[in-house]
Every structure is written in C-alpha cells, then in structure tokens.
C-alpha cells in the first residue's frame, strides 16, 4: 500500500531525508521512531503533500502520488494529524468532527462517546484540556474514512489516563476499519504497546524494522539513540 523510494530532502546544508526507502504492503499499525532529527516528520510531510521532495517517489497502492498537493492526497484517502494540535477552538466538538467529514452526525457522536467527550459535543473545543483537544483532532481524522492514517506524536502532551483511552480508541478503530496506520512517537511505552511492527529511522533513512521486542533488543537501534 505504501512504497517510499529513495526520498531525499534537504534544508540548506541539513539532509532531512537521505535516500529513504520504505515498503509497507498491508494494513496494520506501524510505529515510526528515531532520534530527534531522524527525518520522521519530514517523511510525513512529503507523504502528505505538505512539502515536496528533492528526489525520489511516493506511491500509494502502486500509484505515483509524489508532489500531489495535500487536498488531492486527502481525497485519495490519506489523512494525518500534526505535532501541533490542530482543532477549531471556537467551534463545538461536534462541529470539529463534522468539518469535511464523510460520516454522518450519528457516527461523530459515537466516536465522541468512545473518548469520553460526548458531554462536550455542543461546547467549544476551547473548553477542552490540551490532551482532550489532541484526542478530538485524532478522532476527526477518522471522520474522513481514510485508507492511510499518519499520526504525528499523538501521545505528546497527553496525560496517562487520556493516553490509555487513546490507546484503546486506536485499537478499536483498527479492529473496526483495518486500515494502514503509521504512528510517529517518542513515547516508547505507548508505541511499543500499540504497534505490531516498528520502523526505526536514523539520519534521514530507515535503519531497521521489526517487532517491538526485536527493536528494543537491537544494538544498532540503541547506538543510534545513544549516539
């Protein structure tokens, strides 16, 4: 479903992506980890049309989507969240979910119940805590019925209680809709509990991939993190 071929992207003298290759052939929950500056968010940005690569290709289902604009990729079924929480604070939680949605209001209300936000359905998102806004943003991505969902640090700024709620929500959504999740995350406990396979990036390329157990035991991964 996803084929990344020799992606390269530089910002001045900094090589954010240095010949990155990645193949993901089937639905599942995949973790994408690596030290700061490894190129994880840049990879997401290229995959979702936020930025253009200097070289290389991005293919979804065998179709070359390199340099497609973000709105065209979204229509194709590619959705993402961002490191910075992006909700409309002046709109109600329900309105946030229905903005650009392909699902009915009844589904929005069901999803709000699953993350314990149904009591805030008619309240402005500004009334939520940061962690609750993060959950609202992630839930909104499901309203577009994506085929590929890229989550950029979903655990950032979320307290432990909400983090467990988020973990269970993502698992349930995958059971209901077996799509392809890729989760960039620095919270190792969270991503290791969530993902069935981990991809490790280092210096703009894929260093290693495997089960959470194999990655945690890898000397190459430990060296990349410890420098």
The string of pLDDT tens digits covering residues 70-109 is 999 999 999 999 888 889 999 999 999 998 788 999 999 9
Q: The tokens of 113 are what?
A: 């119940």
Instruction: Determine the CATH number of domain 2-86+130-226.
Output: 3.40.50.300
Mean pLDDT of 30-39: 94
Give pTM, 2 decimals: 0.92
The pLDDT tens digits for 144-177 are: 899 999 999 999 889 999 999 999 999 999 999 9
Per-domain residue ranges of the chain:
2-86+130-226
- What pLDDT is attached to residue 227? 67
Q: pLDDT band for position 202 (50/70/90)?
A: very high
- What pLDDT is attached to residue 1? 83
36 close to 205: Cβ distance less than 8 angstroms:
no
């Amino acid at each position: 479903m996803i084929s990344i071929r020799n992606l390269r992207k530089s910002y001045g003298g900094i090589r954010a992506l240095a010949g990155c290759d990645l193949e993901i052939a089937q639905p599942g929950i995949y973790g994408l980890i690596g030290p700061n500056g490894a190129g994880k968010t840049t990879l997401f940005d290229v995959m979702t049309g936020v930025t253009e690569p200097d070289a290389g290709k991005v293919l979804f289902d065998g179709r070359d989507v390199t340099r497609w604009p973000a709105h065209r990729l979204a229509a194709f079924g590619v959705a993402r969240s961002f490191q910075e929480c992006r909700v409309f604070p002046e709109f109600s939680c329900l309105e946030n979910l229905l903005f650009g949605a392909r699902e009915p209001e009844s589904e929005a209300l069901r999803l709000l119940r699953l993350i314990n936000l149904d009591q805030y359905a008619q309240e402005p998102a500004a009334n939520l805590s940061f962690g609750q806004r993060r959950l609202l943003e992630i839930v909104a991505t499901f309203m577009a019925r994506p085929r590929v969902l890229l989550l950029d640090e979903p655990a950032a700024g979320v307290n432990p209680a909400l983090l467990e709620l988020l973990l269970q929500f993502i698992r349930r959504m995958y059971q209901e809709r077996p799509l392809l999740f890729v989760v960039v995350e620095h919270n190792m406990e969270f991503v290791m509990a969530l993902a069935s396979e981990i991809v490790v990036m280092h210096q703009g390329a894929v260093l290693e991939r495997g089960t959470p157990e194999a990655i945690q035991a890898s000397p190459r991964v430990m060296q990349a993190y410890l420098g």
